[in-house]
Amino acid sequence: MNIPFRKITSTPTDFSVSLDGVTFKGEIAFKERNQAILQAHLSGEISLTCDRCAEDFATMLDEKIALLIANGIYEGFNDTLDVVEINEMIDFDELLRSEVEMFKSDYHSCNDCKNQERN
Ligand SMILES: [Zn+2]
């Protein structure tokens, strides 16, 4: 699903994309100049690899995502939102893929290891 940046207005536009059982659903609204704010929810089941024992395990995603979409180079500084630079076209499937990758790159441990960490 692609939406050209120039089609984004101050009235929020809904979007919903899914990939491999993960759904990325929310809305995007024009903010100012070359910037738009995206607010979304990432949900569904994904497979992770435990960082302690290297076993694969499944977990349910339930993540709130807020992004600042910049059409072109973003020259400001934003400490509350992650900034994603795009080139005229907003590719929601690509955003979904990168959010899932970002989540996977965090530290994750399976339930067995979590229990051991507690002891
Ligand atoms: Zn583990």
What are the tens digits of pLDDT across the range 1-50? 999 999 999 999 999 999 999 999 999 999 999 999 999 999 999 999 99
Q: How far apart are CA 23 and CA 63, in angstroms?
A: 11
> pLDDT > 70: what percent of the chain?
100
Mean pLDDT of 48-56: 96
Query: Rounded to the nearest whole angstrom, what is the distance from the C-alpha of residue 101 to the centroid of ligand 1?
Result: 19
Query: Rounded to the nearest whole angstrom, what is the distance from the C-alpha of residue 108 to the centroid of ligand 1?
Result: 8
Query: Rounded to the nearest whole angstrom, what is the distance from the C-alpha of residue 56 to the centroid of ligand 1?
Result: 8
Domain holding 43, by residue range, is 2-118
Strand partners, 66: 39
Q: How far apart are CA 34 and CA 54, in angstroms?
A: 43
Give the chain's length: 119
Res 77: pLDDT: 83
Other Cβ atoms within 10 Å of 89 Cβ, number: 13
pTM value is: 0.89
Total domains in the fold of the chain: 1
pLDDT bracket for residue 72 (50, 70, 90): very high
Query: Rounded to the nearest whole angstrom, what is the distance from the C-alpha of residue 35 to the centroid of ligand 1?
Result: 41
Query: Rounded to the nearest whole angstrom, what is the distance from the C-alpha of residue 53 to the centroid of ligand 1?
Result: 4
Q: How far apart are CA 114 and CA 66, in angstroms?
A: 28
